[in-house]
Structure formats: C-alpha cells, structure tokens
Structure 1
Amino acid sequence: MNPRTTAAAPLLLALALLAGGCTGGVEGTPGGAGLRDPYFPGLGNGGYDVTHYGLTLDVDPDAGHLRGTATITARATRHLSAFHLDLVGLRVESVDVEGRPAAVNRAGKELTIRPAAVEDRLREGRTFTTVVRYAGSPQPVTDADGAQEGWLPTDDGSVALGEPTGSMTWFPGNHHPSDKAAYDIEVTVPEPLTAVSNGELVSRRTVNGRTAFHWRTAEPMASYLATVAVGEFTTRQSRTPDGIRLYTAVDPESEAESEEVLAEIPAVLAWAAERFGPYPFASAGAIVEREDDSAYALETQNRPFFPGPPDTALLVHELAHQWFGNSVTPKTWRDMWLNEGFATYAEWLWAADHDDVPVEESFAEAYEDDANWAFPPAEPPSAADLSDPPVYGRGAMVVHRIRLALDDDEAFFALVRGWTQEHRHGNASTEDFTAYVEEETGEDLTGLWDAWLYGGSRPPLEE
C-alpha cells in the first residue's frame, strides 16, 4: 500500500461523508415540493412515502385554537438531504427528525425540513420519524369551485373535511391521495364535547374536565378522507351481522330525523358487499351534524359526514365510496370520476333493487341532462370542475355502458368485485381501470372509451 494513500485515507473519507451524508458517498437531494398532480401540481411531496401518522390534538373550541403534535413515520424513496411537508396557516414550534432538531423553512403551504447535521441525511429505503409540534387557529380554505374545506367551525365545535386539499389546514403531511397511511388520532376536548374521527375508538379518558378520544385507522387512508368532528353528539355503537363495528355520532338537533335512515346502514353494507365485494374496513357508521354546519356531505373513511339528516340515496352514495375512493383511491385528482361515477351508479342500483326504478330509467334521465355533457368525465377542464355533473352522472353512464357491452350481469358484477379486490387499499388511475376491463373481458373497448369517457359530445344511444 502506498504510504501517501494511507495517510490521506481519513481525509478522503471525511470529504466523502460531507458530500453524501450517510448515503455511502451518494449525494442526497431535497424531496420534491409537489407531485405534479394535473389539477394541484404543488400538492403532496416527493422523495418519501408516509406509512403512519400519529396525531395528538388539543382543541379549544371557544377560542378556535388547536395545538398539535404530528409524529410522521415514512420511508425515503431516494437519498434525501431535505424533504417537504404541506401545512397551511398554523405556526410550527419545532421539528425533530429521528430524535434530533431539524431546521425548518416555510414558504406558503410548504415546510422544508432539513436535518440539523450532515450525517442525518436519509438513505433511500430508510424508515425515519419526524415530529412536528404546531399550534394556532385553523382556518378554512376555499376550493377552486368556491366551497370551503379544512377545519370548519360548527355551532358547537368544529369538523375537518379535507377533499381535495383541506387536510393541510389541521395537520402537516404529504397531502396527495397517492400517499396513503395508517392513522392514530387522539383529540382532547372539554366536557361535555365528544371528538369523533376515523377507524375504531381505542380509548377515552377524562382528566380535569377534558376528555381525550383516541381513534385508530389500521387500513391505509388518504389524508383527504381523515376527519375530526368536535361537538355535542349522541353516539351509538353496535355491530352488523357480519361483525363490522358501527359507530354513529349525531347532533341532537338531527337525531330524530336521522334515526330511520341510519338504521339502514347494516342493510346497505350487506347489499353493497354482494355487488362490490367484501366491505374493505373493520368499522363503519356516520357523523351527522346540523344542516348549516357544512354545504356538502363527504365520504370520510369509515364514517361519512352528513350536514343534516341524509336520505337513503345519499347514504348509499357515501357508503359506496368506502369501496370506490376510500379503498380504491385515485392516483391523481384527474381520476375522481372513478370515485363519483361508481358511487352514483350505486344509487342507480339501489333504486332498481328497492324503489322499482330500473337502471335504464336512471341512465336515460342522466343521458337527457345537458349538464352531464359539459366535458368528458375523465378530463375536467380545471380543478373547479372536479365536482361538476359529468364526473358523477356521465361517470355512472360509463359504468353502465360497460355493463351493456358485456351483456352479462354475472360477468359485470364479477368484473367490479375483481376491480375492488385487485386494488384494495391501493391507488388506481383511469388508465389502470380501462386496461383492467379490457384484459378481464378480452374485449377491445376503444370505441366505448372514446365516446363515453373521453368524447366531447353526446354519443347516439344505438352505438
């Protein structure tokens, strides 16, 4: 060995570590600020995959104040020198990465987290934990279509509704539907209020007039489906005949009018399981607030949110989303028609089975509605159009045209059950869906996709 080389080895090693951190000499790079979603290009973050959120929230409804600690467990998908989190409005008090303080830079909704020392750079494939302590008064955000979302005040508390970007108003994270994770959410509120969230209630403890409710969601969940509802609720717990845990929380003002519809939840779940495959979660239920607490219902995972007592059609729609949207979640927001088209079609199927309204009649009504032909369901013109009629009504028409093309109901429902099974607890795109249908049926359905899914005009029915 050359003596000069031997003497220089420690210096060369130190330089390599400075260049590449703990990455074996490979230079770390910052994770991307945004995943280039077609409608929300800055939403989400690159370079890592979240596996678990542990959220500890202390809520003061009277002051409109929230104090939170988010413990985020993630796996690096490339060598990282820094990474981003999405958070709107709330004040960041501190950030630790792997137990050590990290530097934080804020620009709008983007937090850039940079480990405090070079050796803290994160290797590709490494699982790491980030703890963010934050506080403030969460404010709603206004969606592109004018609707408010995020942490919304109610008459006796608040409710968090996240579709499509509102979840970043109450916890930091990777807020794109393509990054799903398990959740533990503990919310402390003053008595006599209740805090309801997703999944199963693990514990409830009261100390000095404040009660902590710990909720756990073991199955993967997109952040826009996470919810916390704080208020005075009448709560009920039971199980379906299939063993699914049911938890309903209803504002007392909506209780009497909601009772009959909510009693249908077990029957709707059993009916849907026959058509769409096994229910994909361990629990179900509903959150029902007062009519003026929000302008819309939302398929929050495990227990949909309703602004006032729902009717049966709306209950069916939101419960169908537990398969379409919550278990099989879109890869991007362009794929939202897969959520809404199937949930709307579920309404048509329920009406056919229970109200003597043939699916053909529901299809004809949607076909004649000019609003459904404003744009193709798979190509909304902008983010403001994601909740417009074509995504729902024309999306359901696409599903029915597939059924007509197969001309075999047994094969059609087997196809649907196969789809929910193949992508259970995952993500899927429009391209994934069309490829799946053609592969499973052995049919070239290019004409169907061109006319009904992507076409710009109303196709003739005889085609």
Structure 2
Amino acid sequence: MKRILFLLLVSMCFAGSSEAQLLSGKHVFSKADSLRGLLTPLRTCYDINYYHLDVKVDIDQKFISGSNEFRFTATQNFSRLQFDLFSNLKVEKVMYNGAELPFSREFNAVFITFPAEIKKGSKQSFTVFYSGNPVIARNAPWDGGFIFTKDRSGNPWVSVACQGFGASSWWPTKDHQSDEADSILISVSVPKNLQEISNGRLRSIVERADGYATYNWFVSNPINNYNVTLYIGKYAHWADTYAGENGKLTLDYWSLKEDSTVARPHWDADVKPMLKSFEHWFGQYPFYEDGYKLVHAPFLGMEHQSAVAYGNKFKKGYLGRSYTGSTWGNQFDYITIHESGHEWFGNNITSKDIADMWIHEAFTSYSEVLFCESNYEKEAGSDYIISSRRALLNKSPIIGYYDVNTEGSSDMYYKGANMIHTIRQLINDDEKFRNLLRGLNKTYYHKTVTTREIESYISKVSGLKLDKFFDQYLRHAKIPVLEYKVVNGLLSYRWITDVKGFDMPVKVTVKDETYTLIYPTNDWKTIKTNIREDAFKADPNFYIGVKKVI
C-alpha cells in the first residue's frame, strides 16, 4: 500500500507540471542501506522457522518493551549472525541456552557471536530482550512507525505501519523480505480497558497484575515481517463466514465502537463480492487457517496479512473520490478492495527484494480492474485501468535498486497494472489469462520470488516471447511509442523503444472502426490501408504512446 506521495503526483500530472520527477538524479547509498538490504552470509546462514514476539505497549509514555524469540535452522556452519533492530531501541540482552551472548551494533544491524559453532542443519533459538520509544510516523502509511492517537471519544487508538521503513523499527527480526517466518506467536500487552488485534487467530487473553492484559495471536502461515502488526483501541467486533473455494472462511470485523453502525453495512457491501471475484481470478484465499480480518486503523490502510488495515472513513472510492478518475471507482471502497487484493500479491507471493515491489503493487492494482469487471462489466474494468494513465509519470523505472532496501517508482502501481492489462491483450484469451493468474498463486504459494521468476512464469504459460517487453516496461522509464504516417493509402509504422529488437504486436485501425493486429519492429514497415491519417488510432487497451510522423 505504501504510496510515494501519489496524490501529490496525481495533482502535478493533472496540472501539467514539467517539474514532476521521482527517483531522478544521482543515487548515493550508505553502509546502513547495504546492512539492511543486502543478503550477506551473516543473514543467509540461518533460516527463520518461528518467532514469538512478546511486547508491552505503554501508551502514555509511547514506550515499548519486551522480547522476541528466534527459532531457526542453520543453512551452513557459522558462529556469528546478524539480526536487525533500529538503533533508537535498546538491546537489553540476548539469551542463548540460558546464558547471555555478546553482541555489537552498527547502524540498525545487531551482530551476535555464539560460544561454539552452529552446525548446518541444526535447529537452534535465541531470544532478544529490548525496549525504547519507537519511531512515531509523521504521516502513516506514507512514512513508517507507530501511530499514537485518539478516537473521537478521546480513547487511545494505536497501531503501527512499517512497509519499506522496516519491521525492525519496532521489533527485533531478520528484516529482509526473503526470509518469512513459517509461523509466529504475537503477544501484545495493553491496558485491560482496551482491545488489541493482531494477525492470525486469538489464542487467549491473559489478565496481568499490573492492569494490563496480554492478547496472544498465532499466525500459522508464513508471513513477511512488515505485515506483523497490532491495533489497540475501543473496538466492536462481529463475525461472519464465507463459503469459499477451500471451504468455510471465517470473516472477522473490528471497527471502533463509535463507528460500528456505519462500518457494518459499508464493509458488507464489498467484502464478500471481493472474495468471490478474487478467488475466481486468483485462486483460493491464501490464509484460510488464519482467517480474514478487516480492522479499523488510525491511518489509511495497509495489507497486514489476515488483519487488513482499513482507514478510508467508510467512503466509496479513495477518501470519497475515484482513485483513477473513472466513475467506476466511485462504486466501491478502494481501500477494502486494494488492501485485500494484497493477500494474494504481496502476502501470498512476496518479492525477495523490495526493489521488486512492483510484483505486489502492479498485480494488486490490477485486482481493482478485475473487481470492476466481476461486479459490473468488462468495459468497466477497461475504463478503470485506462483512466489511471493520466497520473503516470514514466520518469524512472518501476524496478528499484537491489540490495539497498530501495523500491522503484510509484508508477509500479498503475503502470505495472497497465502492463499486465497489455499482456492480457496479447494473450487474447481471458480464460487462459485467468489460469495464468491462478497458476502464479498456486506455483508460488506462500513463497518469496524475484522479478525474473515472475517474468519466466508468465512467458512460459502465455507462450509469448516477452523478454524485450518486460525489459522496456520494467527496466526503462519510457513506454513504447508507435510512430506512424499514412500517405497515399499506405500506413508506415515502427516502434521507438529503449530496448533494441522490440517487436510487440499491437491492434490499430487499418480499417474504419476495426482494430487489426500489426507487428511493428524498430524498423519501418508499410501496409495498405483505407484509414484516414486523422482517424488512425491504436487500441487503448494497449498501454503505448502513439506519435504521428510529419
């Protein structure tokens, strides 16, 4: 969900600003960036099996304290490893087999040394105890950190959002998307007059002598670090079920008590139609064991696995208006649909490196198109995705820099979605396209992936040669431009691209009001036509530029 000042970009684009730039200029990365983003032997030497995060939240002092147990399998022999925790949080001690381990810190990385070599294949554990005042988000979820606020009645309302910023901003972890814990127990202690919601299923609530209550939530599926979360407040709860592809899926809704009367009908309007649409297009909901929850949050939204954050003020569209500008975007709640779509792309299928975050955002943005199509008509989906292009900048690639925890351009959302829409046109078989999307979620079920793996899968299943196509759309800022001219009944055309040998077919009007597939390359080609030069156009379902040559 983490947009990069997207609304500002939209307004700049609508205004025709020539100053709109993103990720332009020279990039300088630091040792801290590498420690966070690079998979060194000190990180790959162990594979996380399980965490037990146990944290107490002192709301008045904006202070957290607690521990995290790391259970892991050694992937090689080693005696030293790295975990991550922001430097503003204090590591109190690290315990291993009943004794404290020595540790050192460099920026937000922590290094521990074991008393004897850990052997490959062995299963071990250590526990980190920590405390401190976590970073407070200035404008969540655009920037990361804790949110300490109050509801309209003056009750505390607390949560955290940390995509990109880092789970290690509030708990000790191996903070890299490539290694998901197979399961996690999340124990959060809060004042006992409040409720606390986290990912997974609630196992117990234990009242403490200090006026706090500990909520124990267990996640039985693999989960990426930034999705682990908490919500604290005065909540109302109601439950339902959905008859899905894998049987009965539990649905749990948590809104602030003061908003429950408006929340119930609003969420009811979208959640089951969303699940029906996404299970049709993507396959079964990926986390039946942990259920589906929609939780009222003190920020706009985030794809927290099995506990989706919602903060769209119970309005249709995006805070009351269509996100892409299409009128169809006013028919549903953008946050409910988009953030829930991440359960398939982002949570089920997770990019190993955040540089490949387009895998999360492009497919999830396209889920909005498919929701429109499922619930209204195919033309509604086309109008929705074509309308999104007015906000695209095409100033920098949508793949970021690898190994330094840096994502690409915000164009990854709707440029990526338009790229997928173009692939759909090239496949020209909606059932084959649907099976491709379902196949992705089945093949990479609960796995982390790279861009190359996704490219290879799509090319293989579609039967299309897409290497140059992906290079142009993913690794270059500009989209392909179809140059053309019509002279004396002859249509001449060619591609202008960064990638040499680009040869994507495209549908154009060779005859009046009829689209015909042509096969441009970087060299001029000519065919006969009866179309007038001023009437020539390309099928708008292909995301390309079109330029008349004089």
Q: How far apart are 1:384 and its partner, in Å?
A: 10
Aligned position for 1:11 = none
State the AA in 2 paired with 1:83.
Answer: L
One of 243, 246, 257 as aligned partner of 1:252: 257
Q: How far apart are 1:456 and its partner, in Å?
A: 2.9
Q: Deviations over 1:326-366 (max 9, x none)?
A: 01000111111111111111111112232445332223223
Q: Deviations over 1:189-227 (max 9, x none)?
A: 112111110011111232444221110111000101111
Aligned position for 1:218 = 220
Aligned position for 1:204 = 205
State the AA in 1 paired with 2:454.
Answer: F
Change (3 A) 1:54 1:146: closer
2:302 partner SS: coil
Aligned position for 1:275 = 281
Aligned position for 1:78 = 76
Alignment pair present for 1:91 and 2:90? yes
1:121 partner SS: strand
Equivalences for 1:173-192 in 2 at 5 Å? 173-181=173-181, 182-192=183-193
Alignment pair present for 1:284 and 2:292? yes
Equivalences for 1:366-381 in 2 at 5 Å? 366-367=388-389, 369=390, 371-379=392-400
Aligned position for 2:134 = 138
1:219 partner SS: coil
Aligned position for 1:430 = 451
Alignment pair present for 1:109 and 2:115? no
Counterpart-to-counterpart distance in 2, 1:418 and 1:384: 28
Counterpart-to-counterpart distance in 2, 1:452 and 1:347: 20
One of 233, 256, 260 as aligned partner of 1:231: 233
Aligned position for 1:27 = none
Q: How far apart are 1:34 and its partner, in Å?
A: 8.5
1:432 partner SS: helix
Change (3 A) 1:372 1:454: same
Q: How far apart are 1:141 and its partner, in Å?
A: 6.3
State the AA in 1 paired with 2:174.
Answer: N
Q: Deviations over 1:15-43 (max 9, x none)?
A: xxxxxxxxxxxxxxxxxx98959x94489
2:344 partner SS: coil
Alignment pair present for 1:149 and 2:154? no
Aligned position for 1:25 = none
The structure with more helix, counted as a fraction of residues: 1
Q: Which runs of 5+ in 1 are unaligned?
A: 1-32
Counterpart-to-counterpart distance in 1, 2:427 and 2:79: 52
1:449 partner SS: helix
State the AA in 1 paired with 2:308.
Answer: P
Q: How far apart are 1:188 and its partner, in Å?
A: 1.4
One of 302, 317, 338 as aligned partner of 2:338: 317
Counterpart-to-counterpart distance in 2, 1:230 and 1:388: 33
Counterpart-to-counterpart distance in 2, 1:429 and 1:381: 11
The 10-residue stretch of structure 1 (198-207 or 398-407) with the greater mean CA deviation from structure 2:
198-207
Aligned position for 1:441 = 462
2:277 partner SS: helix
The alignment's C-alpha RMSD in Å is 2.8
Q: Deviations over 1:263-316 (max 9, x none)?
A: 232331122111101111021121113xxx33x411011121123435422211
Alignment pair present for 1:360 and 2:355? no
The 10-residue stretch of structure 1 (405-414 or 310-319) with the greater mean CA deviation from structure 2:
310-319
Q: May I ask how many residue pairs the two structures share in their alignment?
A: 421
Contact 1:76 1:126 in 2 (8 A): yes
Change (3 A) 1:253 1:40: farther
2:101 partner SS: strand
TM-score of the aligned structures, taking structure 1 as reference length? 0.84
Alignment pair present for 1:160 and 2:160? yes
Q: Deviations over 1:414-441 (max 9, x none)?
A: 0110011000100111110110111222
1:241 partner SS: strand
State the AA in 1 paired with 2:309.
Answer: F
Contact 1:184 1:215 in 2 (8 A): yes
The 10-residue stretch of structure 1 (130-139 or 428-437) with the greater mean CA deviation from structure 2:
130-139
Counterpart-to-counterpart distance in 2, 1:318 and 1:402: 23
State the AA in 2 paired with 1:238.
Answer: D
Contact 1:34 1:46 in 2 (8 A): no
Q: Deviations over 1:147-179 (max 9, x none)?
A: 331222222142121201331122101011111
TM-score of the aligned structures, taking structure 2 as reference length? 0.71
Change (3 A) 1:343 1:372: farther
State the AA in 2 paired with 1:77.
Answer: T
Counterpart-to-counterpart distance in 2, 1:261 and 1:55: 33
2:293 partner SS: strand
Q: How far apart are 1:404 and its partner, in Å?
A: 0.8
Q: How far apart are 1:408 and its partner, in Å?
A: 0.3
Change (3 A) 1:146 1:234: closer
The 10-residue stretch of structure 1 (382-391 or 211-220) with the greater mean CA deviation from structure 2:
382-391
